[in-house]
Amino acid sequence: MTEQAWLPDPYILALTGFGILVALVAWLPMVLTRLPLSLPIVCIALGAAVFSLPQVTISPLPLDHPEIAERFTEFVVIIALMGAGLKLDRIFDWRRWSVTWRLLGVTMPLGIAAITLLLGWAQGLPWAIALLLAASLAPTDPVLAADVQVGPPKTGEEDEVRFGLTSEAGLNDGLAFPFVHLAIALAAVTAAGESWLVDWFTYRVLWEVGAGIAAGWLIGRAFGWLTFHVPASTKLAKTGDGLIALSATLVSYGLTEIMHCYGFLAVFVTALTFRASHRDHDFHREMHEITEQIERIAMMLLLLLFGGALVRGLLAPVTWTDVGVAAAILLVIRPVTGLVGLLGFGASRSEKLTLAFFGIRGVGSFYYLAYGLNRMEVGASERLWGLVGLIVLMSVLLHGLTVTPIMRALDRQQGRDPDAEDGTPPPGLQGPGAR
């Protein structure tokens, strides 16, 4: 038998690898529950190891597959947004959600302005490019931030910190989009000298934000009625099939994008409205479990590719100045703007510091950068991908290594024992054994 006959079929290798990935999705979170280590760190390390093998010839670099990079990250984010909205137990109320409005209305705009100025002055980037990067990096991530988010529906794992970080990550992905479009408009006006301000404000801000919220609410109401309130014999909740959450995600995102409004915003609003249609029904847990499982598989696959991109040269254009900029964004700009947004908020000092510190960057930043670069003429795309990749890597390491000890200490401070049988574990992507 020839040597070539012993080589495994690539298709069989892919099936085997996917099976191992699914096993890791199920088992790793249980192993990592009490370790100062996060699932994303492990996924990136695995990806780096796999793509270091000479037999793996597929390029994981986003610049080699710009359209796939945009669409895959887009899918991961919308699944995470539906899961985040479904697991929020707190009733929507302007006063009860005050921590969210502070983080969205003060912290995020200040962060965008600060990052834009830093990149424009310290890095000498054109202002349109600096704004695109700032808009990509300002929102927190609903995917990689799962370890600091609330637990599954109806579990009571929803203190002020976890609620604030979950609701912020759910909404700021959609609200960062106008700034991405502003960067694209500035780049276009620089090239062509066309007017842009009125069109940007009326269409990209007023219409796309307003219509996204309204459409998300209507679709959530429709799915809630079909699931819980049609005649008893045909209630979709009776099927026990949590895949209806995936349907709601795709329908909400697809219809709102057809209407040319912000699908990210619509998906999260759909999830909140869907949950509110029958808040105490057990079916919400089934829907959340399905979205969480899909999210975990997609997230792990994406991070494997990210790890592969790191060893294939993603960070090659990065300079020591870029490292300083990345550290300033994570360790200065987010914490300071977070604390400014929380001035006067009725929370303890440790809660405010935790809220301000965990501004995790991740998949959303990849999506916005891919979206912007696919619509702008940019000469140094490799450098931009390298800088964003560096910031995401530093965020994954910094926040991933600190999330378990910080959240466990916060639980103890608030009178919860994270080591107890019925204690509050670090919520999020913790696998079925942690529930």
Each of the 435 residues of the chain gets a pLDDT tens digit; together they read 444 555 566 677 777 877 887 787 777 766 666 666 677 888 898 889 889 888 788 899 999 999 999 999 999 999 999 988 888 888 888 888 999 999 999 999 999 999 999 999 888 899 999 999 999 998 888 777 666 777 778 666 678 888 999 899 889 888 899 999 999 988 887 655 566 788 889 999 999 999 999 999 999 999 988 888 776 555 565 656 778 889 999 999 999 999 999 999 999 999 999 998 888 788 888 888 889 888 888 988 999 999 999 999 999 999 999 999 999 999 999 999 999 999 989 888 999 999 999 988 889 999 999 999 999 888 789 999 999 999 999 999 998 888 878 888 888 887 766 665 444 444 433 333 333
pLDDT at residue 72 in the model: 95
**Tokens found for residue 170:** 């759910």
CB 135 within 8 A of CB 368: yes
Q: Give the closest residue to 226 by CA, choosing from 294, 273, 282, 268.
A: 273
pLDDT at residue 22 in the model: 78
pLDDT at residue 430 in the model: 35
pLDDT at residue 282 in the model: 81
Distance between CA atoms of 291 and 82, rounded to whole angstroms?
7
Percent helix, strand, coil in the chain (nearest 5)? 70, 0, 30
Distance between CA atoms of 341 and 104, rounded to whole angstroms?
9
- Domains of the chain are 3-434 (1.20.1530.20)
pLDDT at residue 335 in the model: 95
Distance between CA atoms of 254 and 270, rounded to whole angstroms?
12
Q: What is the pTM of this model?
A: 0.88
Distance between CA atoms of 404 and 411, rounded to whole angstroms?
11
pLDDT at residue 426 in the model: 42
